[in-house]
Amino acid sequence: MADPMTTALTPAGHVHSYWAATVGPGPDNVRPLPGDRTVEVAVIGGGYTGLSAAYRLAGTHGIETLVLEANRIGWGASGRNGGICSITFGKVPLARRIAEWGVEATRRALEIGVEAVALVRHLITTEGIACDATANGYVQVAHRPERVADLQARLALYRGPLRYDGVDFLDRERLEREGHLRGPSAHGGLWFRDVFGLHPLKYVNGLALAAMRQGALVHERSPVVAWGRDGAHHVLATPTGRVRARRVIVATNGYTPERLHPHFRGRLLAATSNIIVTRPLGPAEWQDVGSLRPQCYADTRDLLFYWRRLPDDRMLFGGRAGLVNTPSSLRRRRRWLEAQMAAKFPVLAGVGGEYFWYGNVCLSYDLMPHVGAADEDSTVVYALAYLGNGVSIATYSGGLAADLAAGKDVPRDTPLTAARLPRFPLPLLRRLYLAGAYLVYGVKDRWL
Ligand SMILES: Cc1cc2nc3c(=O)[nH]c(=O)nc-3n(C[C@H](O)[C@H](O)[C@H](O)COP(=O)(O)OP(=O)(O)OC[C@H]3O[C@@H](n4cnc5c(N)ncnc54)[C@H](O)[C@@H]3O)c2cc1C
């Protein structure tokens, strides 16, 4: 069945989101691939990963680079996300990281998260990307009183063995006094210093312009429909031309076609994240919610809800759910998100969403993102599987993929670069795993 949210696009070719409605003009003169070309590196995918890879390849390494994007720049998750630029990557819990990877690698992963956020800030500043970046600050709020102890245990790990001081615990009284949150869901939270919010579609457009200024060629509406070899060259066919390239970077994350390249078969699982954005809320409504300035939040659920007070005083509220995208299931998901928002913030009962949209995030079997090269062909490089985070880590990982494609080595100090992208056992059952995970996590989030 046709996907109603991807067939019903704006005139500019994006899903009908709050971001598409407020982005303003995008990069112009980005044309489909005009005939055949030979370049050093071809990049498949025009989101944060592909464009930051192109920026670094063309800029730092001076390598001829061409990006092929099937739709518009930022059409995928990079133009649809919540815009929370976070230090977190991967879904492996902190205590398990320490137990399985050791303190050094866990600490290094945290440093990489902080470096990734700093890289986004740096790009915004040096490339003059006007993307409504907010001040730093993010709170992860316990969704049940029992989860406060977990947050305090994590604080002890951050402050102790991980030596990270950019985090603090806010009890109910501080959450309210410092203008974060009040009401029934304000049990306590971890405040993080190194996280901020931005307009994701403005940011990805700015990245595209920056990559083009460095000399990268970018082509929209140029889907790779076939991938062959001609001696040392890869040959990527699109409807309007072919690209011959010595190396290819795969930057397609949750939109990777199963048949794109044999290496990725059975290794990725797309899941859906959904967002509503309300009308601008009045001062009394915000007073009741307790968020006195634009800031980013999430809760402690496994299937977490995330929310932001946007610069124009709307509430953005998002969460992961959904196995099919039929019109009726989309309507149910929209109503479900509205009800969840109202359950958290009773003053918003009946407010509903002026906008609703969804997009694909990408899961790996080991719950970690991966940057590396295909086992059987080191000229195929990839950066993907960001598991619902990506504003910062996709930008950062695109740079690592660029270094690999330029023939440089990258530090193998965390599973991001050191571990192989694993295959799912019985990959044909991946959708069933997802259904099972939604069930188990849903029960756990509700009762534990
Ligand atoms: C609703 C939602 C909310 C989110 N919220 C946050 C958040 O608040 N903070 C955060 O850090 N992360 C968030 N994420 C995750 C984040 O958006 C992604 O991890 C990140 O954008 C991934 O970037 P990417 O460039 O790797 O992939 P994408 O931006 O998805 O880009 C992949 C591109 O590949 C293209 N493509 C696919 N196949 C082909 C082909 N054959 N030929 C050419 N092009 C092709 C697609 O058209 C697509 O544009 C969210 C995601 C979603 C969906």
Task: Tell me the longest C-alpha to C-alpha distance in the chain.
Answer: 67
Angle at 141 between CA 138 and CA 145, to 5 degrees: 165
Cα of 76 vs centre of ligand 1, distance in Å, is 4
The H or E element that residue 353 is part of is none
User: Which protein residue has the closest C-alpha to ligand 1 atom 9?
Assistant: 84
Owner of token pair 């969804």:
358
pLDDT band at 3 (very low <50, low <70, confident <90, very high): very low
294/317 Cα distance (integer angstroms): 13
* Helix (H), strand (E), coil (C) string for 178-206: CCCCCCCCCCEEEEECCCEECCHHHHHHH
Assigned fold of 16-81+201-267+366-427: FAD/NAD(P)-binding domain (3.50.50)
List, in sequence order, the alpha helices (H) in 165-300. Answer: 172-177, 200-213, 283-289
User: Which protein residue has the closest C-alpha to ligand 1 atom 25?
Assistant: 47
* Helix (H), strand (E), coil (C) string for 128-167: CCCCCCCCCCEEEECCCCCHHHHHHHHHHHHHCCCCCCCE
**CB-based pocket (< 6 A), ligand 1:** 44-50, 68-71, 75-78, 80-84, 86, 223-224, 251-255, 257, 260, 273, 275, 306, 318, 358-361, 384, 386, 388-391, 394
**Ligand 1 atom at minimum distance from 393 CA:** 11
Chain centroid offset of residue 143 CA: 22
Ligand 1, from 255, 355, 356: best to mutate by most atoms within 8 Å of Cβ? 255
Ligand 1, from 9, 16, 68, 69: best to mutate by most atoms within 8 Å of Cβ? 69
Give the DSSP letter string of 37-55: EEEEEEEE--SHHHHHHHH
User: Which protein residue has the closest C-alpha to ligand 1 atom 12?
Assistant: 389
Ligand 1, from 222, 310, 361: best to mutate by most atoms within 8 Å of Cβ? 361
50/31 Cα distance (integer angstroms): 17
pLDDT band at 437 (very low <50, low <70, confident <90, very high): confident
Cα of 47 vs centre of ligand 1, distance in Å, is 6
pLDDT band at 410 (very low <50, low <70, confident <90, very high): very high
Q: Is the pLDDT of residue 2 over 60?
A: no
Cα of 272 vs centre of ligand 1, distance in Å, is 11
Domain boundaries, the chain: 16-81+201-267+366-427
- The beta strand positions in 340-444, using DSSP E, are 355-363, 370-374, 377-384
**Ligand 1 atom at minimum distance from 273 CA:** 1
> Are 353 and 280 spatial neighbours (Cβ–Cβ below 8 Å)?
no
55/214 Cα distance (integer angstroms): 6
> Are 45 and 253 spatial neighbours (Cβ–Cβ below 8 Å)?
yes
- B/e letters for 311-327, b = 16+ CB within 10 Å, e = fewer, are eeebbbbbbbbbeebee
Residue 265 has a CB neighbour count (10 Å cut-off) of 13
Q: In the prediction, which pLDDT does 5 show? A: 45
Measured distance between the N- and C-terminal CA atoms of the chain, rounded to whole angstroms: 37
Mutual angle of helices 103-126 and 94-101, in 10-degree steps: 120
pLDDT band at 443 (very low <50, low <70, confident <90, very high): low
Cα of 197 vs centre of ligand 1, distance in Å, is 17
Q: Which residues pair with 175 in a beta bridge?
A: none
- What is this structure's pTM? 0.96
Cα of 386 vs centre of ligand 1, distance in Å, is 9
Ligand 1, from 391, 393, 395: best to mutate by most atoms within 8 Å of Cβ? 391
Cα of 352 vs centre of ligand 1, distance in Å, is 26
Cα of 361 vs centre of ligand 1, distance in Å, is 7
Which phi and psi angles does 145 have, rounded to 5°?
-55, -35
386/116 Cα distance (integer angstroms): 13
Q: In the prediction, which pLDDT does 241 show? A: 98
pLDDT band at 323 (very low <50, low <70, confident <90, very high): confident
Half-sphere exposure of 39 (CA within 13 A, CB side): 28
> Are 134 and 311 spatial neighbours (Cβ–Cβ below 8 Å)?
yes
261/138 Cα distance (integer angstroms): 38
Cα of 77 vs centre of ligand 1, distance in Å, is 3
pLDDT band at 438 (very low <50, low <70, confident <90, very high): confident
Q: Per 3-state DSSP, what percentage of the chain is helix, strand, and coil (rounded to 5)?
A: 35, 25, 40
pLDDT digits (tens, 9 = 90+) for 149-203: 999 999 999 999 999 999 999 999 999 999 999 988 889 999 999 999 999 999 9
pLDDT digits (tens, 9 = 90+) for 98-157: 999 999 999 999 999 999 999 999 999 999 999 999 999 999 999 999 999 999 999 999
Give me the sign of the Cα torsion angle 357, 224, 399, 132. Answer: negative
Residue 156 has a CB neighbour count (10 Å cut-off) of 12
Q: In the prediction, which pLDDT does 183 show? A: 83
Cα of 273 vs centre of ligand 1, distance in Å, is 11
Which phi and psi angles does 277 have, rounded to 5°?
-130, 130
Cα of 208 vs centre of ligand 1, distance in Å, is 14
Backbone conformation region of residue 137, classed left if phi is above 0, alpha if psi is from -120 to 50, else beta:
left
Lowest-pLDDT range, 21-35, 235-249, 315-329, 395-409?
Answer: 315-329
